[in-house]
Each structure stands twice: as structure tokens, then as C-alpha cells.
Amino acid sequence: MHPAPRAGFCVTQAAAAATPPGSRTRPLTTGDRAFLHFTRLNPGESLEIGVVLHVDDPTLTVEELRGQVAQRLRGAPALTERLAPPAASASEIVWEFDHELDLDYHVDAEELAAGSGDAGLRAALDRIAARPLDVDRPLWRLWLLHGHTPGAVDVVYRFSHVHQDGGALHQALHLLFGPDRDPALANLPTYGMPRARDYARIVARLPGEIPWTRQLASWGGAARGGARHTWAVTDLETLRRIARRHAVTINDVYLAAIAGALRAWSLPEWEHGGRPVHAAVPINLRAQSERELMSNFTFGMRVPLPCAEPDPHRRLARIAARTRRAKADGSLAVVGRRILDTTPPDAPPRTLAQIASTGARTKRAALVASNVGTMRGPFSIAGREVSTLIGMPPLFVGRQHLSVALFGLGAQLCAGFAASASVPRHGELADLWLAELAALDAPARRASVPAGNRGESS
């Protein structure tokens, strides 16, 4: 197969021509600068995310994929943004349109071992995750993977956290594969100025010193090796049913299933109770006026996962009680948004880089647990419908043991797991997450109310 050379040149020229004068550059957000600083201060390290779009038609070709992307980019200049000028400091750099975007680079194909199935797909995702994106180009790529499954192909969309967060992923996939041009995100909030009591409430919740999280021997020591990917696919209605039964949120159910999976995976370490492990949980702070932008608008909170509690329903109740308190008055979101808005562009690079890599500080958070949300869909590629979406969570390679993210498309959900290669039996976690959902879906033997402390501390 021979792709048409330089197909992207006309595409991006048209996108630029359709863009109003004076809007061809925009500043980086605080989150963008934080991830950029981390990348610059740690050469060879980057934080990238991906999704896999499964198409039940093996005849899809890279020329067809490239043709759809070329057509869609004419109306999606946001996906042609790149960092410019490349040599500038992070306080001076802006997002600028690439008028010579090269589709040969951005849309590629790879033939996998015939009949290798999910094992071949996992190996391909691990290889793709080890290929850093070119920071001098728009920070995303697509791969068409074929040959591994007789009746299907998979399309991988990989992007940098410098340019996109989970909210931006909704928009990017909608622009490339969605049915129309309506914004992918709806019903986003607006954020007013925080009041003194908002700050006071947050300070009141903070302990004198944030305790270190529990260190698990099951991690197998310091994180080493590249990212290894597994996933579990289920239906949205299962989590909704559990959430309705227990009067909690879908995110609470997702986190409780992670806690149960970790408990089962490292069970001998919980036989005598003890402190919980903590998950860093990103919070979306994107406002309604920013729904169509790429960039990062997230803040984070730390949630203890009560793995020492043997009863799954009580684990869910404890997590729900903790997240309910954190969100009760909205102070966390309002103050977090204010911090993002008022951080100066010339803030110390190391400070911003440390914020970006919070989830990699394993003494404070054992893992990151993101909820990217459900994509509107339906998505289609050259007339073929996408049947399943699989997630590739971001992982700080060489620093972090585990990252989990929940992705949805229509009525399906996927919990994606990315673990360092050094983590023993990491491939078991996805199935254990499904098993925990089944346990939560079963009737409780007694009322699901928060139990006593049982020797844990947060």
C-alpha cells in the first residue's frame, strides 16, 4: 500500500484559511505547561494516552483511514496545533497551527502476526507506547493494526498529555470519527471566584501532614520496564445498577472495584488490616466556554482505597462516603480552578513539573485512577462502525507501578490498566476488576453502611 504523499498540506491550509485572523495562536494552560516542563526536565520521559477503536471489518485500509482524517481535519484546526516556537521557554511558547501537517507520519499502519488475537494486540500497544511522539509536530498519531484478528482491525489513537486531557479526548475523537460537528462535551459548569470559606473548608479537611500511602511488597520493588497493557470490557448498565442500589456514583463503583481487585491481587498483605493505599483521582475542571479546546483542565484529589475491608459492599460505602465529603460543597473544584487560572506562565518549572507528576510520587499515591467518561458516539471509520473502545491509560514509565482509567462508548465501558513490566502478575488485575463488579452486583448480606475504622487510617 502506497499512501498519497503530503496529503496533509492542503488539509491544513484549508483549516488555517477558515480560521478567523488573530486566532491562529493561543497560550498554553497551566496544565499544558506543567506536562511540558516535566518532559523538558526529564529527557526521554513523556506522558501519553491512547484509545483503541475496534472495527469488525478487516477490509479497512490505511488509505481509507488517511482519507477520512484528511477530510475531517479541514474542519478541525485544533488537531493541527503544535508547540511553537520549538526552542522557546515554556512561558513563551504557544499553540500554533501546523500548515504542513504530514499525514504519512500521523496515520500509519502495522501488520501484526496472523491470528495473534488479543495477545498480539497487547504486544502492539506496548510497542506503540514505547514510541514517543515528535514534540515538533501536532502531538497525536493513528495506527491501523491488522492481521491479528481474521474478522476485524483496530485503530489506535495515541496523544500527548501536553496537548490533551480526558475532556479533550472526547472532542478529538468526535472531530475525527463522530457523526457531526456538535461539541462532544455538554453541560459543563462555570466557575466563579472562590470565597474565603471555600479556602477555609479545604484547609479544614487537610491533616497536619499528608500521610504516606501504604507500600505494597506485591509491587515487586521499584517500577522498572515499559508499560504493559490489559483491559476489561463491561456494560454501563452494570455500574449504573450497582450505583442505584447503593445510592452512590458510577465513579464510586469504579474505584471500589479497583480496591477489590488490588485486595485480591495482594491478599496476603491485607490479612491483618492496616493502612489503605491511595489513588490519585483527576477531576475535570473544564468550563463550558472551553468545551471545544484541546489542552488540560484537570486538578486532583487523593482517595484512600480500603483494601483491608473484606466486604465489597462496605468497601464501596467507605469510598462513597469519602468522595461525597470531598465534593459536598464544591470548594475543591472552585479553588482548584482558581489555582489553574492564576498560576503565572513563568512559575518555577520544577514546581509545575512536580504537579504534573503527582501520580508518579509513589510514596503519596500508589496509583492513578482516572475516569475519562463515556464518549457520545457512535464513531465510524470510512463507513464502518466502531464496535468497542479500549483504553490505554497514561503511565510514568520507570516511576509508577500502575495507572487505571475508565473509558466508555455508548453502552459499553472499558477499564484500561497500564502497569510497569516489573509488576508481577499485572495481567490479572483486569479480570479481578470484573470479578469485583460481580461481587458488588450481588445482593449485600447486610446493610451497606460505613463500618468502623478496622485499624485503617487515611
- Count the Cβ atoms, other than its own, within 10 Å of residue 17: 10
| Residues whose CB falls within 8 Å of the CB of residue 81, separated by 6 or more in sequence, listed in order | 95, 96, 97, 98, 138, 163, 294
What is the domain partition of the chain in residue ranges? Answer: 8-177, 196-441
- Count the Cβ atoms, other than its own, within 10 Å of residue 284: 18
C-alpha cell at 223: 517500577
pLDDT tens-digit profile, the chain (458 residues): 333 333 333 333 333 334 443 346 899 999 999 999 999 999 999 999 999 999 999 999 999 999 999 999 999 999 999 999 988 888 899 999 998 999 999 999 999 999 999 999 999 999 999 999 999 999 999 999 999 999 999 999 999 999 999 999 999 999 999 997 676 777 788 888 888 877 777 766 665 557 789 999 999 999 999 999 999 999 999 999 999 999 999 999 999 999 999 999 999 999 888 899 999 999 999 998 898 899 999 988 899 999 999 999 999 999 999 998 887 777 888 888 998 999 999 999 999 999 899 888 999 999 999 999 999 889 999 999 999 999 999 999 999 999 999 999 999 999 999 999 999 999 999 999 999 999 999 987 654 444 433 334 44
C-alpha cell at 365: 499515591
User: Are residues 43 and 36 in contact, defined by beta-carbon separation less than 8 angstroms?
Assistant: no
Q: How far is residue 249's CA from residue 281's CA, in Å, rounded to a whole number?
A: 14
User: Are residues 305 and 319 in contact, defined by beta-carbon separation less than 8 angstroms?
Assistant: yes
What is the helix (H) or strand (E) element at residue 390, kind and residue range? strand 384-392
Instruction: Note if the bond before 378 is cis, omega within 30 degrees.
Output: yes
C-alpha cell at 210: 499528608
| Residue-wise burial string across 74-104, b where 16 or more C-beta atoms lie within 10 A, e elsewhere | eebbbbbbbbbeeeeebeebebebbbebbbe
Single-letter code of the amino acid located at 357? S
Class of domain 8-177: alpha beta
Placement of cell 476485524 in the chain = 152
- Count the Cβ atoms, other than its own, within 10 Å of residue 72: 17
| Residues whose CB falls within 8 Å of the CB of residue 205, separated by 6 or more in sequence, listed in order | 325, 326
pTM comes to 0.90
Report which of 318, 320, 358 is spatially closest to residue 336, judged by C-alpha positions.
358
Q: Kind of pairing, strands 277-284 and 367-375?
A: parallel
Single-letter code of the amino acid located at 185? L
What is the helix (H) or strand (E) element at residue 429, kind and residue range? helix 429-441
Q: What is the pLDDT of residue 178?
A: 95
Report which of 317, 321, 335 is spatially closest to residue 196, judged by C-alpha positions.
335
C-alpha cell at 230: 490489559
| Residue-wise burial string across 225-235, b where 16 or more C-beta atoms lie within 10 A, e elsewhere | eebbbbbbbbe
Domains 8-177 and 196-441 equal at CATH topology level? yes
DSSP 16-77: HHTSPTT-SEEEPPHHHHHHHHHHHHSTT---EEEEEEEES-TT--HHHHHHHHHHHHTT-G
DSSP 276-334: PEEEEEEEE---GGGTT--B--EEEEEEEE-TT---HHHHHHHHHHHHHHHHTTSHHHH
For domain 196-441, say whether CATH 3.30.450.20 is its number: no
CB-side neighbour CA atoms (13 Å) of 346: 1
